[in-house]
Structure 1
Amino acid sequence: MFRLIENVLSNDQVAKLKDIAARATFVDGKISNPHSKAKSNLQMHDQNLQQEAVNIMAQALFACEDFMNFAIPTQFAPPLICRYTPGMKYGLHPDAATMGIGNVSIRSDLSCTLFLNDPDSYDGGALRTQLGTEEVRVKGPVGSAIVYPSHTLHEVEEVTKGERLVAITFIQSQVPDGFQRELLYELGEIAALEGNSMSHENYTRLQAVQFNLRRMWQRS
């Protein structure tokens, strides 16, 4: 299940992140995956500025109700700003099953890209994901996030003009199974949209179903 969530980052937060990126040092993205033949991008490599950027993005994600309801995160990797200039791309790949964050390893149930510049400011650079015989291409509006299953094959198409500036993170969900997460999300949407028109008895019954499914499916 994919979800494009708009306005995760405010205009002020985007401006601060762009300023951080402008001041930061970027290095070859292969530094975090030296054996990759698919990866051709740049990633931020400045510990102090990285922590400043992480604080802004983590605050925005935790404050976004739609993101929290959709991903049901237990923890996620510190978001990392990446830059793609003309000729750069990230070939077709799945994301690793686990991610080492310091001395901790997290399971990557979901991947997330935060878009930091206007899609009209660069050519190419779409996030393309394979779903069986179908394809999904996304160039999200500035400040938005796309959240999608980490196991899917996906790529960043070659940037041919301008610069693609994004941040990426990987999420361990309290509900690892994507189908179960989708059911919980849909039930939550129904409760939010229709709850006021239900009788108190039926709304209470709906809540009981939601809570009991969460008890059944939630993992630490």
Structure 2
Amino acid sequence: MYRVLDILSAEEVAQCREIAATAQFVEGKVSNPHNQAKQNEQLHEHGAYQKSAAIVHKALIESEEFHEFAFPVQIAPPLLTRYRPGMHYGAHADAAYLPLPGGTVRSDLSCTIFLNDPKDYDGGALHIRLGDASIRFKLDPGQAIVYPSDTLHEVEEVTRGERLVAVTFIQSRVADPFRRHMLFELNEVAALEGGKMSQENFSRLQLIQANLLRHWGEQP
């Protein structure tokens, strides 16, 4: 119930890196002073935050695969965060609701967009615990991992170099992860195999897709 997506172009990655190189970062605990697990830095300069968030948000909105997987209703403004040697983010759960100036976002899905080459730093893997499984991600620049926010996860300690990412949270039209995954799989099958069906059966499949989304979806 997670997905690796190609989100940012090389040009968009370069723009985000340029913003990060010249903007002010502050200790990550500024947004949650009581979180003892959090040891990183986050973008603090308002203008730079708006600019970088707009780049990443636009890329997410324009990604068809992101829409097909996440069924997004709201996306929190993506925030640039960085980790230098010795920094990490211990095992934690993301907050269920995020109060934002434009309204509250329920975090159904979490998303990390990687902005620098994994060869540029040691450590720093995103470690997600899915039941008894442990999965680690260090992706190429521009790639994103989208995963359920109700999982325990951590960023392992960076021991060399710098890890630069953008993080955001998504409220999905389909809150239940099992239902969301089933809809995604059904839509994938329809896209891949629909052309091989008779028109009557394909129309029946499309009716099932629409009715399940109509029944399970929370918002238009």
TM bracket, shorter-chain basis: over 0.9
Q: Which residue of 2 aligns with 1:204?
A: 203
1:29 and 2:28 aligned: yes
Question: 1:157 Cα deviation (Å)?
Answer: 0.1
Cα RMSD (Å)? 0.8
Q: Which residue of 1 aligns with 2:167?
A: 168
Task: Mark the runs of 5 or more structure 1 residues left unpaired by the alignment.
Answer: none
Letter in 1 for 2:140: P
Letter in 2 for 1:214: L
CA offsets per residue over residues 8-39 of structure 1, 9 Å max, x none?
Answer: 10000000000011111000000001000100
Q: Partners in 2 of 1:162 and 1:32 — Cα distance? A: 24
Letter in 1 for 2:135: V
Give the structure-1-normalised TM-score: 0.98
CA offsets per residue over residues 171-219 of structure 1, 9 Å max, x none?
Answer: 0000000000001100111111111111111110100000000000001
Q: Partners in 2 of 1:132 and 1:218 — Cα distance? A: 26
Q: Which residue of 1 aligns with 2:111?
A: 112
User: What number of residue pairs does the alignment pair up?
Assistant: 219
Q: Which residue of 2 aligns with 1:88?
A: 87
Q: Which residue of 2 aligns with 1:60?
A: 59
Task: Give identity over the alignment, percent.
Answer: 56
Question: 1:103 Cα deviation (Å)?
Answer: 5.2
Superposition map of 1:173-184 within 5 A? 173-184=172-183
Letter in 1 for 2:3: R
Could you say what secondary structure the match of 2:91 adopts? strand
Could you say what secondary structure the match of 1:87 adopts? coil
Letter in 2 for 1:89: H
Question: 1:106 Cα deviation (Å)?
Answer: 1.1
Could you say what secondary structure the match of 2:146 adopts? strand
Moved over 4 A (4+): none
Q: Partners in 2 of 1:96 and 1:13 — Cα distance? A: 28
Q: Partners in 2 of 1:122 and 1:66 — Cα distance? A: 29
Name the stretch that deviates more: 128-137 or 141-150. Answer: 128-137
Q: Partners in 2 of 1:2 and 1:12 — Cα distance? A: 26
